[in-house]
A = this chain, B = another copy of it.
Amino acid sequence: MLSEAARKAGVDVLMPCGGQGRCGRCAVVVESGAVRRRSTQRLSPDDVAAGYALACQTTVEEGDEVVIFVPPQEKIERRLKESKRAEKVALPFPYDLHDQPLRKYAITLDPPSLQDQTDDWSRLKRELARRYDLQNLQASLPVLQKLGVALREGNWTVTVVVELDAFDRPEGPPRVIDVLPGEHLESLWAIAIDIGTTSNHVWLVDLISGKVMSQKADYNGQIARGEDVISRIIYASKGGLEELQQLVMETLNRLIKQAAREKHISPDEIYKAVVAGNSTMMHLFAGIPPEPIRLVPFITVVNQLPSFEAREVGLGINPQGTIDFLPGIASYVGADITAGVVSSQMCNVGDLSLFVDIGTNGEMVLGDCSWLISCACSAGPAFEGAGVVHGMRATAGAIEEVWINPEDYEIAYRVIGDEKPRGICGSGLISLMAEMFVSGVSDKSGNVNLNLPTKRVRKGEHGAEYVVAWADETAIGQDIVITKVDIDNLMRAKAAIYAGFSVLARSVGLSLADVGQVLIGGAFGQYINVSNAILIGLLPDKPFESFHFLGNTSVRGAYMALLSREMRQRVTEAGQMMTYLELSADNTFFDEFNAAMFLPHTDLSQFPSVAKMLEGRE
């Protein structure tokens, strides 16, 4: 091994994963000489082409002389991150950017006179019809309330914001959203919103360029009233509906304000929003009692919300701006999933695709161009960092990847922002579960082995636990640990998701082996290390190339529907095409769930690569 050769030559190469080829930190550049790379797991093809090799996984070809360069660790870290980012697919945007229905017109009207006493509104309509062929133009009351003043303040030159059509009225009629005195054509703003149970995302979009100019995200303010949709629904049904609506509106309005401030605009200049989210979040956003979602037979009041003006719910954009909603399918397959399906382009591939969004719930869709079937399973918020003692969101200070040395059970970790750690985010938890299992810190049921010769395993307040970071290394002044309770939560989450995959495939007479590509959406999805996720049995065992991380496909779907009428049409069609499989009405789900309550699974034949790796271990 190069690593041994280097050590012998007095060069220290870091190997935090204990030389298993998993952490990638021992990467060196082979400057000359022939080597054989046993594994390039952490290296991209570009890395290999550039001469990179993992010191712990590379041997020198017999008789050759090799010159290696050991890059500074920072450079390796950067490459690791970059290659990690490169895993994320840059989704195509195959639609016309200028096919969005919002318009700004600056027009000058002939002033009224005693000879032409036409009323202001008719005068405006007359001119807009003449110049832009806008027929049957509508206006809501607040626009009429400001019209007369705006016309006179602008000395009969005004800028009119018109929405030609909307999600629920694709044929129009056009509607005036705002009238401003004078000429203001420089910009036209809108927002795409994803309302997650845990996180809310807002993208501020410049409709003229079609570009996302600011992205803001934060925890959904409703979390204080329940971490998952079920507890929110219960809270709503006990008189908390209005409060929950206000809480999410406060979060969104804060994000909108932040984004607007960043671009030096007023939120009033944002004339449209497209919203995606799961069905419960959509109900709460609209102030609709979500109770039936929770109760058998799990019914939404409405899957496709009608478009309405922002003032109806107090969303902090222009009060007359339209809010369009993407369509949901069922109580637990909401607009976030139709948004994901369409923005993932899974309909356009031809290959059998599995789309999965791992958020607080795990939602998944199987299909190709001609059919789509979906289901949902309650994963819980563990992978979002909630329900785990030291769980946190994937922000600065979160441990996002770990490596445990199977010899001494010591751990190395990478922290987002290279700060002192404050907790562990979802990808860190998956990584931790995988490393604990592979290193023997836990068994296949997730039980922590308290007999190991290390202080890192111990009995804590919540049972057996493993110390990830000692208090003095952290930013929180206490040990960061993972407990058996945390592991149980994570185990249930991953088992539910994998069981969902299995039942979905079987329901259409297929198996997971038939799946050509796995598309992973959700804000969280993009941080998952595929090998680790396969290792714990969260994702099906497929070649690395089969997986595509799409990022937050919900907000992306909303963004695309904002920019393109064709996309809007596609989302509607996807919603109509998609079948929903109710897992609670499916007898096989609980069997599959129980079978998946192991690392990686009771049926190891479904995880051949993991089986191979474990070979000879036990």
Inter-chain contacts of A348 with B (CB < 8 A): none
Contact B148 A112 (CB under 8 A): no
Contact A301 B140 (CB under 8 A): no
> Which one of A112, A286, A298 has the highest number of Cβ atoms from chain B below 10 Å of its Cβ?
A112
The complex places the Cα of A152 from the Cα of B295 at a distance, in Å, of: 12
Contact A286 B585 (CB under 8 A): no
Contact B301 A148 (CB under 8 A): yes
Proximity string of chain A (108-133) to chain B, C-beta cutoff 8 Å, 1 when within and 0 when not: 00001111011111100000000000
- Which residue of B is nearest A328, CB measured? B119
Complex interface: stretch among A305-313, A392-400, A514-522, A600-608: A305-313
The complex places the Cα of A119 from the Cα of B286 at a distance, in Å, of: 15
A302 to chain B, nearest CB (A): 4
The complex places the Cα of A152 from the Cα of B301 at a distance, in Å, of: 11
Contact B117 A289 (CB under 8 A): no
Contact A120 B300 (CB under 8 A): yes
Does A265 reach chain B (CB closer than 8 Å)? no
Does A486 reach chain B (CB closer than 8 Å)? no
Inter-chain contacts of A292 with B (CB < 8 A): 120, 148, 152
Does A102 reach chain B (CB closer than 8 Å)? no
Contact A138 B296 (CB under 8 A): no
Q: Which of B120, B302, B313 contacts A121 (CB under 8 A)?
A: B302
Contact B148 A289 (CB under 8 A): yes
Inter-chain contacts of A178 with B (CB < 8 A): none
Given the interface pairs A114-B584, A585-B114, the reply to whether A312 lies near B141 with Cβ below 8 Å is yes
A114 to chain B, nearest CB (A): 4
Contact A300 B331 (CB under 8 A): no
Does A363 reach chain B (CB closer than 8 Å)? no
Does A412 reach chain B (CB closer than 8 Å)? no
Does A34 reach chain B (CB closer than 8 Å)? no
Inter-chain contacts of A298 with B (CB < 8 A): 114, 117
Q: Which of B113, B286, B291, B304 contacts A145 (CB under 8 A)?
A: B286
The complex places the Cα of A298 from the Cα of B113 at a distance, in Å, of: 8
Inter-chain contacts of A114 with B (CB < 8 A): 296-298, 582, 584-585
The complex places the Cα of A168 from the Cα of B2 at a distance, in Å, of: 81
Contact B302 A120 (CB under 8 A): yes
Does A144 reach chain B (CB closer than 8 Å)? yes
The complex places the Cα of A144 from the Cα of B118 at a distance, in Å, of: 39
Does A303 reach chain B (CB closer than 8 Å)? yes
- Which residue of B is nearest A313, CB measured? B141
- Which residue of B is nearest A121, CB measured? B302
Contact B289 A145 (CB under 8 A): yes
Inter-chain contacts of A291 with B (CB < 8 A): 148-149
Inter-chain contacts of A312 with B (CB < 8 A): 141
Does A561 reach chain B (CB closer than 8 Å)? no
Oligomeric state, in copies: 2
Q: Which of B120, B140, B148, B331 contacts A308 (CB under 8 A)?
A: B140
A253 to chain B, nearest CB (A): 18
Contact A149 B287 (CB under 8 A): no
Contact A119 B582 (CB under 8 A): no
Given the interface pairs A331-B117, A580-B117, the reply to whether A112 lies near B299 with Cβ below 8 Å is yes
Inter-chain contacts of A119 with B (CB < 8 A): 299-303
The complex places the Cα of A411 from the Cα of B113 at a distance, in Å, of: 51
Does A185 reach chain B (CB closer than 8 Å)? no
A233 to chain B, nearest CB (A): 12
Q: Which of B122, B149, B300, B304 contacts A303 (CB under 8 A)?
A: B122
Does A510 reach chain B (CB closer than 8 Å)? no
Does A475 reach chain B (CB closer than 8 Å)? no
Contact A308 B141 (CB under 8 A): yes
Does A147 reach chain B (CB closer than 8 Å)? yes
Contact B287 A112 (CB under 8 A): no
The complex places the Cα of A141 from the Cα of B283 at a distance, in Å, of: 11
Does A139 reach chain B (CB closer than 8 Å)? yes
- Which residue of B is nearest A279, CB measured? B119
A581 to chain B, nearest CB (A): 10
The complex places the Cα of A296 from the Cα of B115 at a distance, in Å, of: 11
The complex places the Cα of A584 from the Cα of B114 at a distance, in Å, of: 8
Contact A147 B299 (CB under 8 A): no
Contact A145 B297 (CB under 8 A): no
Contact B120 A301 (CB under 8 A): yes
Inter-chain contacts of A144 with B (CB < 8 A): 286, 288, 301-302, 305-306
Does A330 reach chain B (CB closer than 8 Å)? yes
Q: Which of B117, B331, B582, B585 contacts A582 (CB under 8 A)?
A: B117
> Which one of A140, A141, A145, A299 has the highest number of Cβ atoms from chain B below 10 Å of its Cβ?
A299
Within 8 A of B (CB), among A85-120: 112-115, 117-120
17 CB < 8 A contacts A-B: A118-B299, A119-B300, A119-B302, A120-B292, A120-B299, A120-B301, A122-B302, A140-B306, A141-B306, A141-B308, A141-B312, A144-B301, A144-B305, A145-B289, A148-B288, A148-B291, A148-B292
Mark A residues whose CB is within 8 Å of B. Answer: 112-115, 117-122, 138-141, 144-145, 147-149, 152, 286-289, 291-292, 296-306, 308, 312-313, 330-331, 580, 582, 584-585
**Known contacts A121-B301, A144-B302, A148-B301; 10 further A-B pairs (Cβ under 8 A):** A117-B299, A120-B301, A120-B302, A122-B303, A140-B306, A141-B286, A141-B287, A145-B288, A148-B291, A148-B292
